[in-house]
Structure 1
Amino acid sequence: MARTIYDKPTRALLKDMLADWSLKPGQVFTSSRAIEWFAKNYPKLKPGSIRAHLVQASTNDRSRLHHPATNKSDDLLFKVDSGQFRLYELGKDPAPIHEMVEGDVAREEAAAAAAEEDEGADALPGSSEFLLERDLQRYLAENLECIESGLKLYEDDDLRGIEFEAGGGRRIDILAIDKAGAFVILELKVSRGYDRVVGQLLRYMNWVRKELAEPGQRVRGIIVCRTISEDLCLACAGIKNVELCEYKLFVTVRKVPAMELPT
């Protein structure tokens, strides 16, 4: 069951915030202002969770679709710019995004990749390698026990730790919690893992420490690749709380008897 800190889920508290502000159509507010409101009224909620709920409520942000529970009741906001929002205006704004159409994933991932200075050699959006990485992500998210006993997908109200928003258009492949209560960031690479992925993982780990973790709560990272390069092993040597894993895929083929047709 998803974690709910207060009597109301965060998406309902977000509606309370908007009602409290009595915003006028077109009036813009920032994510920082929202975080300040929650810090005053619901201090147990972390900034990272609040930002994720703002994304979920933004009718024109495709990242909202990474949260399966998103529905029409979440059509509250229109994202003006990074960290800037206003009320959604029915009949004036484009129709809310409720499903991904063909090609949207590729465009979204391409935009995110452009913001990453170290993403140049990753799987290209729309490529077979990119699709395999998404298949790997879905499988591991549903079978985290195959990586580590007691590992569970992170949940915060109705938000799940798949493609979890980590600021600046970046997303954590899988965000999990281990049996000791530590955060675990899984960074997936469908092919060979190179040393530059370490910087990406460490950035995500520090973002979780800053935006989600409680004081003293441990944050770990796991890089999962088909082949771990020697350079990656060297880059991770001596780094605490970072582990490396290789995955293997197995395929079985079964012959299907031919259908007999009448003569």
Structure 2
Amino acid sequence: MRSPKQYLVVEVSAEGTIEFHPMKNWCRANPSEAPPLNPNEANSQALRRGFERLGWTVEETDTQIRFFKPGTTQSALEVLGEADPDLDQLDTPDGERETVFELEYQLRDFIAHNIESLKVDGKSLRLYVDDQGRDGIEYPTGVGPIDILAVDSDGAFVVFELKRGRVADRAIGQISRYMGWLITNREEGTKVKGVIVAKDISQNLRHAVVAVPNVSLFEYHISFTLNEIKAANAR
């Protein structure tokens, strides 16, 4: 039996070395920076969602789930020798944040609440709800939670992988893991599609997806306007 994954907070020390801290221990030692949850009572998945809501980056390997403070991901991965050359930064630069969702969960909630207005491969969608009444938002699997799990009008599963900023071709591995789990754990013949949503889709990812034809790419754009409203006594 495979050992459970370790949940680790990754920090870069002043000397430029990497420090790994067990997630719950780190939360107990740093309550002002940790999610507003009691680490003695909350399970690891709840704490993970709490970190994501705070804007932390979560990276999953075969044996670990790593948590990076906002703005530190790239430097930490460089020290680890895992930086992705396809991206200038994994975290979107501050100057661009007015055009992206500040936190991934905002993007997730927006798509989930508007899922029926979206189409993938020309098929309308609805949020998946399983036999226990659990919906498809942060849907748990044996390989980690799916950001959004939907079903299209033909009954095929649609897995959404969401990225608030730029995204490299490593996203193919992430979404393929979830899709593979569904194929393995659902009825034989179950159709599964994937959707990667990000502010910017890298050229490398555009090439990578050619080899995975059941994965679609979407970029999101945000705009808003302000309309002046006159006071009741204005003429």
Question: How would you bin the TM-score normalised by the shorter chain?
Answer: 0.5 to 0.7
Which SS does the other structure have where 2:207 is aligned?
A: helix
Give the alignment's TM-score, normalised by structure 1: 0.52
**1:239 pairs with one of 204, 207, 212:** 212
Deviations 1:142-169 (A, max 9, x none): 111343142011101320111111235x
User: 1:1-263 maps to which residues of 2 (within 5 A)?
Assistant: 60-61=42-43, 63=45, 104-106=50-52, 112-113=58-59, 115-116=64-65, 120=73, 122-123=90-91, 131-148=102-119, 149-156=123-130, 157-167=132-142, 170-211=144-185, 213-257=186-230
**Cα 1:132/1:172, change in 2 over 3 Å:** same
- From the two aligned structures, give the one with the greater strand fraction: 2
1:195 Cα deviation after fit? 0.7
Which SS does the other structure have where 1:150 is aligned?
A: strand
C-alpha contact (below 8 Å) 2:52/2:104 kept by paired residues: no
**Cα 1:174/1:123, change in 2 over 3 Å:** farther
**Cα 1:165/1:110, change in 2 over 3 Å:** farther
Which SS does the other structure have where 2:193 is aligned?
A: strand
For the aligned residue pairs, the C-alpha RMSD in angstroms reads: 3.5
**Cα 1:230/1:112, change in 2 over 3 Å:** closer
State the alpha-carbon separation in 2 of the partners of residues 179 and 237 from structure 1. 24
State the alpha-carbon separation in 1 of the partners of residues 198 and 177 from structure 2. 18
- Whichever of the two has the greater Rg, that structure is 1
Structure 1 gap segments, 5+ residues each: 1-58, 67-99
Deviations 1:28-61 (A, max 9, x none): xxxxxxxxxxxxxxxxxxxxxxxxxxxxxxx742
**Cα 1:65/1:193, change in 2 over 3 Å:** closer
- From the two aligned structures, give the one with the greater helix fraction: 1
Tell me the residue number matched to 1:70: none
State the alpha-carbon separation in 2 of the partners of residues 217 and 171 from structure 1. 19
State the alpha-carbon separation in 2 of the partners of residues 194 and 145 from structure 1. 28
State the alpha-carbon separation in 2 of the partners of residues 226 and 254 from structure 1. 26
Deviations 1:105-150 (A, max 9, x none): 4599859536357x955559xxx77743211110100111343142
Aligned-residue identity in percent: 35
Which SS does the other structure have where 2:165 is aligned?
A: strand
Q: Which amino acid aligns with 2:181?
A: W
1:62 Cα deviation after fit? 6.0
State the alpha-carbon separation in 2 of the partners of residues 109 and 61 from structure 1. 19
1:180 Cα deviation after fit? 0.6
